[in-house]
Structures are given as structure tokens and as C-alpha cells.
Structure 1
Amino acid sequence: MTKSFFLNLFLLASISFIQAQENNNSTLSIKEIMQGDDFVGHLPSNANWSVDGKAIYFDWNPENAYSDSLYAYRVSSEKIEKIPFDRAYKLPSNYGTFNSTKSKKIYSKHGDVFIIDIPTSEITQITNTQDRESNVHFTKNETQIAYVRDNNIYTWDIETGVTKQITDFSTKKEEKEDKRSEKDEWLHQDQLALFDVLRERKEKKDQQEVFYKKENLKKPLAIYTDGKSIYNQQNSPDGKYVSYLTVKREDSKGTITPHYVTESGYTEDQNTRSKVGDTPDTYELFIYDIENRKTYPIVLDNLEGLDYVPEYTKDYPDKVYKNDNRIGYISGPIWNKDGSKAVLDINTNDYKDRWIVLLNVKDGTVTNLDHQHNAAWIAGPGIGGYRGGELGWMPDEKSIWFQSEKSGYSHLYTLNTETKKAKALTSGEFEIYDPKISNDKKHWYFTANKTHPGDRQFYRMPLNGGKLEQLTDMVGRNDITLSPDEKQMAILYSYANKPTELFIKENPVYSKNTTAKQLTHSTTDAFKKYNWKDPEVITFKANDCAEVHARLYKPAESTKNKAAVIFVHGAGYLQNAHKWWSSYFREYMFHNILVDNGYTVLDIDYRGSAGYGSKWRTGIYRHMGGKDLSDQVDGAAYLVKELGIHKEKVGIYGGSYGGFITLMAMFNEADTFTAGAAIRSVGDWAAYNHGYTARILNTPTTDSLAYRRSSPIYFAEGLKGDLLILHGMVDDNVHFQDMVRLSQRLIELGKTNWDMAIYPVERHGFVEPSSWTDEYTRIYNLFNKSLLGINAN
């Protein structure tokens, strides 16, 4: 094995390439399906309406060009046209901010600021600079537009066209004259008393300084940042205040990723991320009172539960836990329309708390409104975790809306900022996605997986809660963009065996015509030739009686070989046992080949997956490779018991988190899995990044037990079956170093039943079809040999 490993590592897989088609009974070939979009078709994305509602713009590439281009569907002519670059360049941005009457929209595009008059569609360019302007927002009761350039806020008066600088952030502090000692002060005064010329010069200088001070009062206050980074600079709606977030970054040692195959012919090093356990950044929010020319910090020492000590620390009674400043990212202020109220959305740096507080901008104090706590970590649809979650003001300007997992699922809530009374607007064992208030301020629009965890439909609901009115009916995933008047829907829709296409449908609220019309036809002739399988979405019971959802692919009885492959999706918090076109579409097509060759395939939404609420999401806390692995084992038992799979013919594979689970399965459940293919896998969580890992396992120095039981490298001695490791050498997400370390561990343990394939020019997400083809050919050959005894010729 050692010899084979070094041949793979340094001679770049010098063994001859084996075409899997030789042992393939499918009409599909691995090489064919691994062409990706070139085989499936380039699918539409990023659908949005023109500001006048006359067209749907979207990205598409039906010509199989180098990259996507902008297309438009004209509602009146019912025709699709490609938008030339010059026209696309001038179109308004999809993003931006409307004024309260929605008669104007402001946005930044190409680094400049624009305003569009909605009734006339007239666009005015406000800036045209080499600098990049961003964070465009209305201020001064919507008479001015504020934006950020080179860290400072500028305003542009809509009526006069006057531009004014509002802030002056500086990294250099103005040097002040040192105070004289008592002796030097006596000498100074004596000199002035003795010499008229010195006294006269000082009087002139003092007069000049008075003038300069008066002049400076007309300029922005110089704000010294003490070397900290500045973010989220914004004017209040009335223009009286500026808020800004300071961030002190702590130095963290990064990892070097060498690139061996380069244009220069030399090895080139890439500096990449640090490892988990970074010292948290320090966040502080400040207010700049423009009229009174003073700045002051927002005081957050009264947050409920700020002194919380995590429960896991009880496992370390002899270790002192320290987290002197738990404040993490601060989002906001989020102002109501008239600027009379503002709220902040605050996360902790240990990811276990979220606060929504009312801001008193005049003195920088806050009032607690809502406190969300999770002993594992705060997250979920619309809740955030990395940054702020979905949050806004209700039409009464006194209440806010937000999402919370208080019930166990992410639902929609309102809260009166005066009475502090909260109300759940939705409830049930389903999740809410992307809520928006309707134009008439009387209803909500949102997506939910109410009918089934793997089916997303679009709904309308009364503003204060009530019956959900389903507005879409195509089973699968419906991503809706409403027209400006809300009377039509642009739908990016897909089903399990039908890739994403663009549809248009009249809003059932305003029309009885409920039929969705397909606008794009993207799939290739080669893709259409095959009868793609519609996997059955099933549930099976886990060993703790939990209902586990999975996709099941069953072969025809005539070809069934009593072997099975379990696929493990990546990302951890991701859903794949659903009824829409998978982001793992290459794997989906590969599963069709496996089924054609008699394999049964099971694709499990294990513990930690999205779409099933908070308990499921946090089921892996402090033990990755615990319930998420036992769900795979229970899936294998289901296959054996219910579908007649031979217990010694079960394989497993997956990428990233799926690769990690594959390693844990091969090391810790060797009697269940005969073969495994681990792609771009995490071998040691202590080597992964902080933002992802610290949420689930805390940090190695504070919770070493969690890392010890969650990292495959500690369990490598358990390997019995055939293991194939596949990894890109320039992976800057899960570093190749991780698998090099694991290979050394396997060598020291004397294991010989493993192999490694490396890909010198690939990062975490493979790009080259040749790499995809090689990778899945090896995986296919592994399962044929280990599960069926078929050798590649």
C-alpha cells in the first residue's frame, strides 16, 4: 500500500485509466454524465422582474457559451431575447432600496450609485468614480441618498444635487502638544513677558487656531478608529445620527496550500484559512451624533444571559472557562420608516445566543426585546448565525417581525416594542423561508415545506396570522419572485428528475388562471434520451425511534444484485432527500448508473440535515460521527431487512462532510460497510475552520472531548473494508494536508486495504470533467470489486 500511495502522490496516478463502461449495463456512461452542465443543459437562475413588471430577467446559457448571459422574457410578446452586454450593463440592479411610496429605487452597480424613477423608468447616475460606492440608503426623510465610499459616508441631495461628506474616519490620531512641566511653563511665561515679538506672534497664532477650530466645526468630526476595521456605516432616516461597527481582528496563523501544477513551472504557495480555535474578533457599535459632534458606544452589558457559561464546561471541572466578551456580530440598526425607533440583532461569539434589542440612539442604551438561546448553537432558516437574521418592521411602525426556533422549527413572529408582547404567526412541524410583507400591507408571502419536508410551496397569509393559502401546486421546489404589482409570479421550478426551468404564473389571489407556463427548455438532447429515475422519498426508523427521511433508488428485480450503496450528502446542514433537482446532480446521475447495474441506492438526510427543525439540526452537537453515523447504519439495516440486500454488500460514499462520515463509517462501523469512497473529506476537525466547526464542537482547547470523539484520524485502526480516498491537492476549504496526515496514520497502523487518488489542479469543488470522470470511475470500480467481486479489465 505504501508503494501504491507514493505512486499516486508523486507520480500522479501512473496506473492506467480504466473505463467503467466495460462493466456498465447502463446506456449512460460516467464520462458522459460527468460533463456536468454540458450534458444536462445550462439551467436558468437569478430570475427577477423589471421595475415596470413588463419583463423577467434571468441568467441562462442555452448556447453552451463560455458563461451565462442575461436573458429577458417579455410578457406582452411572450418571447425570450438575449440582452446585449451594453444594455445589460445599464439595467438597474436586482438589489436596492425603495422609498416609502415605491416611486424611487436607489442602488449601487459597477461600484457607482444610481436612482431610478419608477413611473418613468428614468435612471440618474449619482456617482461616476474609480472608487467603489456601496451601502446605499435614504436619509433626511428620503430627501437625500447616503452611501459609503472609502469607509466614509457621503450624502447626495435629490433636489439640489449637492454632495456632502458626513464622516471622517481616520487611522491616525491628531498629535497633541505635550503638556509642559511646571518649570517649563514658568520659562514659557517669562519669555512672553520679556519679548514683545514672541508675545505678538503667539497672539496671532492663537487667533488663527480659533479660526481653524470654527472652520473645522463645518467639517465632519474626525473619528479615530484605533486601527480597527469599520463596517455597516449608515445614516439614520432623519439624518441626525450615524451608526458604525468597529471590528478588531486578531491575528491567526493560516495554512499554506502548495500548488504543484502551475503556469510558471514552480511550486506556488497559497495562504489559506486558519484552523478552528481562533481568538474571537471584538465587535463594538458606535453612534456619531452629527449635530453635537460626539461619538459614544452602544452599551450592551444588560443583555439577558450575557454571563452564560456553556453546559459542556461541566465536563471539565478542573478547567477554568474564560470568555470575557461574548458579544459577536451586531447587525443594524434596523430603523422603522420615520426613524423614531431602531432595533439591533446581536449574536454571541460562542454562537449560543441571539438578542433583538431596542436601541435608544440618544444615549446608546438598549432594551431587551427577544432572547433566543440554544445550548448547541443558534441557526435555522431566517435566523442567521453568521450575521443577522430576517428582521423588519410591521406597518404599525411599533412592532417588529422576525424568525425564531422557539417552537422547535423556524417560524414567523411579531413583537410589540412597547408592550414587549410576542406572537407566533405560524406554527407546526415545518419551516418558513423568505417572508415578505405584501404591497397592501395586509398579507405575508413566504415559502414553506408544510406539505412535506422535501416539498417547498409558496403561500400567502393574513398579516396577523391565520390560514395559509397555497399559491403553487407543482410538487418539488418553487422559488418565487413576484412581479412589482404582485399579480404574476416568476418561478424557478424543479422536480427530482426534472432540472430547474423558468415558469410564469398568474397569482391565484388575482386570477383564476392557475396554470404555470414553462418559459425555458434547457436540457440537452443527450439528457432527454434517458428515462431518469424518480427516487422514492421514504422514512425509516432510527435506533432512537426517530423518523429518518431518505431518497431510495431501486433496481428492477431482473437486474437486482443484492448490493447497495449509501450516499452521504455534504455540508452537514443541507437537505438532499427532497423532491426537487439536487445540487448533487452528478451524484444523482451516477446513482442512475448504479441502479441500472443492479445496485440499490439510499441517500439519507441524517441528523444535522436542514428542513427538519432545531432538534434535528443540532443532533450532531459535540459528536459528529454520532447520530449522523448511526443514521447511516440504521439505513443499512433497513436495506438488509426490508429490501433483501446482502449484509456484506453495502458500500458508502460522499464528499466533504459526506467524506467525513464515510471515514467514520469505515473506521467505526466496519462490520456494516464493506467498502467506502471518501471524497474531499475532513479527517480531523481540529484542522477545519473556526466559523463552521466551533458552532458544533466548540473549540479544541475548551472541549477536547468533542474533537477526540468526532475526528476520524483517532479511529483509523478500525479499518477493515476497502477504503478509497479522493482529494484535490489545492483544496483551500478542506486542506489536502488533512488526508496526508490520515495516510501517514494508516501507514503507521500497517493498513493495506486502502488507496488514494489525488487531483493536482482541483480545489474543494471539482471543475474539470476529466477529474470528475476519473473520480467516479474509481468509485464505481471500487464498489464493483469490493461488493460484487467484479474486477476492472
Structure 2
Amino acid sequence: MRPIYIVVLLLALSFSAATAQSSLSIPQIMQGQDFTGYWPSSPWWSEDGKTIYFDWNPDKNPSDSLYKYVVGSNGPVKVTPKERRALPPRRGTYNEAMTKKLYEKGGDVFVLDLKSGAATQITNTIERESDAYFGPDEKTIQFTSDNNLLSWDISSGVITQLTNFKEGSAKKPKKLSEQDEWLKNDQLGLSKIVKQRHEEDELEKEIRKADQPGRPMEIYLEGKSVSGIQMSPDGKIISYVLFKSADNTHNTMVPEFVAESGYTEAINTRTKVGSDLSKREVWMFTPATGKVMQVKTNDLPGIKDKPDFYADYPKLDTMKAFEREVFSFGPFWSDDGSKAIMVYRSVDNKDRWITLLNPEDGSNTLLDRQRDEAWVGGPGVGWSMYSPGDIGWLPDNKRIWFQSEETGFSHLYLLDVESKSKKALTAGKHEVYDVSLSKDKKSWYFSSNEGDFGQRHFYKLPLEGGKALKITSQVGSNDVTLSPDEKNLAMLYSTANKPWELFLMPNKPGATMKKITSSTTPEFEAYNWRTPEFTTFTARDGTEVPARLYKPANPTPNGAAVVFVHGAGYLQNAHKWWSSYYREYMFHNFLVDNGYTVLDIDYRASAGYGRDWRTAIYRFMGGWDLSDNVDGAKFLVEKHSVGKDKIGVYGGSYGGFITLMALFTEPDVFAAGAGLRSVTDWAHYNHGYTSNILNTPVLDSIAYRKSSPIYYAENLKKPLLIAHGMVDTNVHFQDVVRLSQRLIELGKKDWEMALYPVENHGFVEASSWADEYRRIFELFEKNLKK
């Protein structure tokens, strides 16, 4: 037995020596912002443009505090609770002259005079009033209360109810039979007294109606809920949205074992992909005539088109034409109220229509149709059927602007609703983000990754197009909030190895950036954080795949390496700004200190690289996204002297899914893997995300069978760590429970599961983070450094 003890001792000493090679420790870096420092977020300007407000927590309070920086002062100061309560919210609506602002606070409506700074409270009720805006000719202020639209007359102060929505169904008068109708008329003809009383009753009804002029017509909701109530700018039409909740018999339940009550509590969460969906309809009401009608959707071109994937299923492909369900958005009115557009998204999210609405009959004239056999999406377009995307009118009341991936990348377009002519204002192999019109309506502002997918810069573009003016220039990402007069930028800026800080900069190219905050801790600053090497490698189909590479100063030949797989699928991480995976970034520095090479890949499906990159995983998750990571491992072996049998893989959420697919379908590529909060079977994930990529399990079982790791578990032969929060309401704990049962039945031995009883999808407790990443490191130390 003595030799065994010696081996165990040597292994222990070897592990201890490895961990000692870094000045960092896993418990330290897994403290998150308690270690790095709390960076600022959510900046917004005071209405006079003299003060920047932002959330910040340099004191490490239980939650962020509100801070302010007065332009020209020495530095930021904390806003007192009294001052914070007196501040108007950052969001609101303005009148045409931009002299007044409407906002909701505490469930009541206020109007702020921007010149004097005086606020007038319009409502003071127990009910919540919201969605306030200036009515026709700015003589009224309209708002929603108790699911009805009300109007406050600015001059008289009178509040008028404009709609009268009622729960349930209208009680229709009982229709008399032909026999009963004859008997009634005969009696009225025989008796003068009976006829007189009948006429008096009818007259009294007319008098009561005349004594209550202007009462809005009752509209019954028929079991639906109402929202989005708005009046057209000319005051003639009121539109509203009716929402019918899906009647699903099964919602998923997540048990909470460590609950405050001491009992196991049930958390009701989402349904699974393919469950019945809620319905969203847009209706219009004309008060002058009492006309109520639904905006039509059956006249949309291609509404009966069958998706291409039906060809794989003969019963679907040969069935008769059908009409797809849609989500309706709008109407979006021109400023003068003369025109309105609608946006429609098919429930299968393969179509988005922009139409000109005919308010007389609710019909549509097509302006733009974006069709995608995978799914419609991209920056400014929206990920799913639940979003209309960014869209608006130009001041001429003839043209609209919107974003589309028509060319393969999301760009800004103008479209004349009369001539139907369309013009691209931006173009090229890059994305455009966060488009807005300047205050004078003569220019556009937006962010873009033009010239470098790994950076985001702020641009200004003439209204009719032309050459965009690049305003920011520092390497990294620039998240800009314009001052009200558009003379200054409040900017959150970061680089790959420096967290976000708040800067102030004049709205001019090349202007000096003034740093407002200093957030990082002395402990964080004591370490020399690496800037990863931004590189690409060639995938098997010839595509250049972006990645971040971390290498030891003197890498060991035939050394160990780790491939990190970011989560979310549609997310970018191989960029030049501070990562949302900042704990992983610090862990990668720790790994490099301990001799590992680390590769962080923006595989196919990642954000920032256009439509074809985004949809490359359609009907096969675990296809191109996985092969990019496998090709990344090959790149490490061929170009960076990494041992072929010394590569590990790990990731969380979508990254956990790819880790499982890697170990189950490419069992000879990776020596070990850690799947964190992993999807194991896509038929058990949510609808909004999954149906875009894989359609639904009933309609496209082939896609789900190809894409779900649980079906490939028999191929596991390398060590696997499964880690999951037990109160995960996103990727449910049930996912890994089902997989574990499958592994048990298959007789698999080299796997283990770490459970976290109080953690949701995104871990919160530092102790949980530290335990999880200790296990990941130990897995790699044991299996990659043999």
C-alpha cells in the first residue's frame, strides 16, 4: 500500500503547486463586483443637460445607489433619498415644442415645465395612471387608468373618459319568437293604456340617454385583456390591443427545497416549446360613429405560405394551404394623423410585414416584407414574434424608417409610403444598433461595429444618408447617452481588461474623454489583467471564426488548453470591451497563470456578425456551432503547441449545451468537460427562443432529435461535470435530472453532478460561484495535465 500513498501525496503536492502559480484565488475572483469594484450603469441626463445621473455602488451597499455628476464639477456625489424622491423619472413623453414633459410617478401623472422646472400633478388616485401623452392639438393630456383611456383638458381641468371597456360579454336582449312578437303587437293594439305605458318607458330611456351626453360606448372584452389604448393624433380613432391568454393545462413547476417557510415551495414558471400561445389582436374604435373593428391580417401577402421544412414531412407538405397566425403591432401614426402603419410578425417568426393601414376598413397595403426560412431577427428588428422592431415616421409625414436584414446585415432604411420606394441609408458587412433621430430631425445617431466586429462606435449620419461621421474612436465599446441639447455624450466605456467607467465627452470627433468614475478596487488593480489576443481561425468550411486567445508567456510544448463556450447562443464575447462573462474572464487569467492556453470563440449563432452567422444553427443546434468549437481545438493543436489529448471544454447555459454535445457527439476531441446550467433536451425549453431555431417538436421532431444532447448520452467516455442551480426557472433542474437518469441507465461512470439548492439560472452567491469553479479547475487539473 505504501506506493499508493506516495502517488496520492505526489498528486496532492502537484495540485497544490499548480494552484500556487497564480496570485489570484478562485474564491477571490468569484466574489464578482465585490472584488472588481461596482461599475456605473444606466446614465441619464437632467432636462437642462447640466447633470448626469447614474446607478453606482462604490460603497458596496446591498443595492446600487443613485449618483450624480454636475458638468464642470470636481466629481460625482451621492443623491440623497429626499432629492431622489423629488426627481422626475428619466422617461416620459414631450410636447412638439419640447417645452413640457409628461411622466408617471407613483402611479400618478405629472407634467413638468422644462423652462421653470415646475411640476404639476394631474392625478392623485389609488388607481394607477400611466401611458400619458399629449392629445390632439396639445389641448388635452390623455392617459390610461383602470384599463380605460381618459383625457384631461388642460384649460378647464375636466377629466373625460374616452373608452368604456367592460369585462365579460354584452347581454343581448332576448329575441322574441314570431308567435310572441305577434302577441305583443296585438296587445299594444288592443289596449291604449298598455301602449301608452310602453311609449312612456321608451321616452324615459331616451331622456336618460340625452341627460348623459358624451358617455363612451360600452365595449365588452369577451374574456380578453386590453392594453395599448391610444388615440390617433387627429382625435378620430382609438386603437387598442386585445390579448387572449393561452389556455395551457400544464405550466412547468420548479420546486424550491431551501425556502424560508421550511417547506418545499412550488414556483410556477414558463410553458415548454410548442405549447398553446397567447393571441394578440389590434382593434379600432371610432367614437363619432360607434364603429368597432379588428385590424385585418388575412390580406397579408404570403400569409398562407408553408415553411420549407414541411418538405421533410409528407403529411405536412401535401396538406392544403393554411393561414398562419400573426402578432399585430400598431397603429403607428404619422405626426399629422393622416397615415398609419402596422407591423405584423407571423407566429412562426418567418415573416415580418410593414403595411400602410386603411383606417376605414382595417385593410393593409404592403410596404415591406422580410421573409426568412429560418427566422426574422437582428439588431433593431427584434428576436421574436413579440417585438415589432424599431420603426418611426419622418417629419414629412410621408416616409418611415426601420431596420432590416435584407442584405444579410441589419441596416437602416427609409420608405416612402405613397410611392413605395425604399432607400438604404447604411450598407456593408457590419451591424447598426440603437438608431435615433436628432432633436432637429436633420440627422441620425446610431452605434455600429463597422470596420471591426470587436468594437462599437458612435456615429452621426445626415437625414438623407451619405457618409457617417464617426464620433468616438477609443478601442473598445462606447455606450452613449446624448445630452438634451446634443452637445455632450455621457458614455459608458470599457476595454477587454478594464471594466466600465462613466466618461463625459463633447459631441465632436476626436474630443477628449473626461473620466467621471473610478470604480475598480485596489485588489483588482494589483493584478496585471491580460488583454487577450484577438484572432481568427479557419473552420472546416473555410469560414474565418473570431476568437479571443489567452496564452502563457512561456507555454509548455504539448501543454493543456481549455475551450470556453459562451452562453445565450446569440451573444458576442470575442470582442474588445469588458465581458458580461467577467468572472470567466478572470478565471481565464487564473488558468493561464497555471499553464493553460484558453480559447474563447464566437461560434456560429453568435451576435454581431450578420444574418447568416445568426441563423447557421437553424434546425440543428450542435451543428455548425459545435464544429466551430471542435475546429478551435484543432487550431490550438496545430498553431499553439497544445496537446491533442489535453483540451478541456466548459460553458454555461447554451455553453453547457455545447459542452454536452461535444462530449456526447465528438468524444475523442475533448479530454474533459464541465456543463453548467445546461439545456439537455430542447423540447423542454421555452417557446420564444427555441421555436425560432427548431420550429416545434410536433411539427419538426427531426430538428429536436438532432439537437438534443440527451439522445447521444450513450457516447460519453470522457469525464463530465454537470453543475446546476436547483431553482433555475430558465433551464429547469429537471433537464439535468432527466439526463442523469439516462446516464445511470446507460451505466456511465465517469461523470458527477454538483447541485446548488438556492441558485437560479444566474448564480448570485459567491460561495456557489467559488464551489462551481473550484470543481471545474480540479476537473481540468486531474484530466488535462496527466
With normalisation by structure 2, the TM-score equals 0.95
* Alignment-derived partner of residue 6 in structure 1: none
| Aligned counterpart for 1:533 among listed residues 526, 530, 533 | 530
Is 1:277 equivalent to 2:274 in the alignment?
yes
Q: Percent identity?
A: 55
Deviation (angstroms), 1:51: 0.5
Is 1:58 equivalent to 2:54 in the alignment?
yes
* Alignment-derived partner of residue 363 in structure 1: 361
Unaligned stretches of 5+ in structure 1?
1-17
Deviation (angstroms), 1:141: 2.2
Aligned positions of 1:537-576 closer than 5 A: 537-557=534-554, 562-576=559-573
Is 1:486 equivalent to 2:500 in the alignment?
no
The 10-residue stretch of structure 1 (717-726 or 234-243) with the greater mean CA deviation from structure 2: 234-243
* Alignment-derived partner of residue 7 in structure 2: none
Is 1:659 equivalent to 2:674 in the alignment?
no
Q: Deviation digits for residues 234-264 of structure 1, max 9, x if unmatched?
A: 1111222111111222212211111111122
Letter in 1 for 2:361: D
* Alignment-derived partner of residue 9 in structure 2: none
Once residues 146 and 271 of structure 2 are traced to their aligned partners in structure 1, the CA distance between those partners, rounded to angstroms, is 28
| Aligned counterpart for 1:41 among listed residues 37, 40, 47 | 37
| Aligned counterpart for 2:581 among listed residues 577, 581, 584 | 584
Letter in 1 for 2:170: E
Unaligned stretches of 5+ in structure 2?
1-13
Deviation (angstroms), 1:366: 1.6
Deviation (angstroms), 1:546: 0.8
* Alignment-derived partner of residue 10 in structure 1: none
Letter in 2 for 1:86: K
| Aligned counterpart for 1:32 among listed residues 28, 33, 39 | 28
| Aligned counterpart for 2:165 among listed residues 163, 169, 175 | 169
* Alignment-derived partner of residue 635 in structure 2: 638
* Alignment-derived partner of residue 471 in structure 1: 471
The answer to whether the 8 A contact 2:15-2:781 is kept is no
Deviation (angstroms), 1:461: 1.2
* Alignment-derived partner of residue 3 in structure 2: none
Letter in 2 for 1:70: L
Deviation (angstroms), 1:161: 2.0
The 10-residue stretch of structure 1 (360-369 or 710-719) with the greater mean CA deviation from structure 2: 360-369
Aligned positions of 1:155-166 closer than 5 A: 155-166=151-162
The answer to whether the 8 A contact 2:55-2:65 is kept is yes
Letter in 2 for 1:544: D
Cα distance change, pair 202–284 in 1 and its aligned pair in 2 (3 A)? same
* Matched residue SS, 1:79: coil
The answer to whether the 8 A contact 1:21-1:30 is kept is no
* Matched residue SS, 1:62: coil
Deviation (angstroms), 1:205: 1.5
Q: Which has the higher contact order (CA 8 A, sep 6+)?
A: 1
Aligned positions of 1:422-441 closer than 5 A: 422-441=422-441
* Alignment-derived partner of residue 4 in structure 1: none
* Matched residue SS, 2:360: coil
Once residues 132 and 515 of structure 1 are traced to their aligned partners in structure 2, the CA distance between those partners, rounded to angstroms, is 45
Q: Deviation digits for residues 293-325 of structure 1, max 9, x if unmatched?
A: 221111222212111100000000133668954
The 10-residue stretch of structure 1 (135-144 or 349-358) with the greater mean CA deviation from structure 2: 135-144
The answer to whether the 8 A contact 2:566-2:654 is kept is yes
* Alignment-derived partner of residue 118 in structure 1: 114
Once residues 338 and 182 of structure 1 are traced to their aligned partners in structure 2, the CA distance between those partners, rounded to angstroms, is 52
| Aligned counterpart for 2:603 among listed residues 586, 600, 606 | 606
Once residues 74 and 313 of structure 1 are traced to their aligned partners in structure 2, the CA distance between those partners, rounded to angstroms, is 60
* Alignment-derived partner of residue 150 in structure 2: 154
Once residues 218 and 320 of structure 2 are traced to their aligned partners in structure 1, the CA distance between those partners, rounded to angstroms, is 36
| Aligned counterpart for 1:133 among listed residues 126, 129, 134 | 129
The answer to whether the 8 A contact 2:479-2:493 is kept is yes
The 10-residue stretch of structure 1 (114-123 or 623-632) with the greater mean CA deviation from structure 2: 114-123
Once residues 372 and 105 of structure 2 are traced to their aligned partners in structure 1, the CA distance between those partners, rounded to angstroms, is 39
The 10-residue stretch of structure 1 (551-560 or 281-290) with the greater mean CA deviation from structure 2: 551-560
Deviation (angstroms), 1:194: 5.5
* Alignment-derived partner of residue 230 in structure 2: 234
* Alignment-derived partner of residue 398 in structure 1: 398
Q: When the two structures are aligned, how many residues end up with a matched partner?
A: 770
Once residues 227 and 321 of structure 2 are traced to their aligned partners in structure 1, the CA distance between those partners, rounded to angstroms, is 24
Cα distance change, pair 539–467 in 1 and its aligned pair in 2 (3 A)? same
Cα distance change, pair 19–194 in 1 and its aligned pair in 2 (3 A)? farther
Is 1:349 equivalent to 2:383 in the alignment?
no
Cα distance change, pair 558–206 in 1 and its aligned pair in 2 (3 A)? closer
* Matched residue SS, 1:563: strand
* Alignment-derived partner of residue 14 in structure 1: none
Once residues 560 and 484 of structure 1 are traced to their aligned partners in structure 2, the CA distance between those partners, rounded to angstroms, is 57
Is 1:209 equivalent to 2:205 in the alignment?
yes
Once residues 663 and 508 of structure 2 are traced to their aligned partners in structure 1, the CA distance between those partners, rounded to angstroms, is 52
With normalisation by structure 1, the TM-score equals 0.94
The 10-residue stretch of structure 1 (99-108 or 53-62) with the greater mean CA deviation from structure 2: 99-108
The answer to whether the 8 A contact 1:141-1:338 is kept is no
* Alignment-derived partner of residue 15 in structure 1: none
Once residues 694 and 109 of structure 1 are traced to their aligned partners in structure 2, the CA distance between those partners, rounded to angstroms, is 38
* Alignment-derived partner of residue 685 in structure 2: 688
Deviation (angstroms), 1:129: 2.0
* Alignment-derived partner of residue 418 in structure 1: 418
| Aligned alpha-carbon RMSD (Å) | 1.9
Letter in 2 for 1:446: F
* Alignment-derived partner of residue 76 in structure 2: 80
Q: Deviation digits for residues 674-733 of structure 1, max 9, x if unmatched?
A: 100000000000000011100000000100000000000000011111000000111111
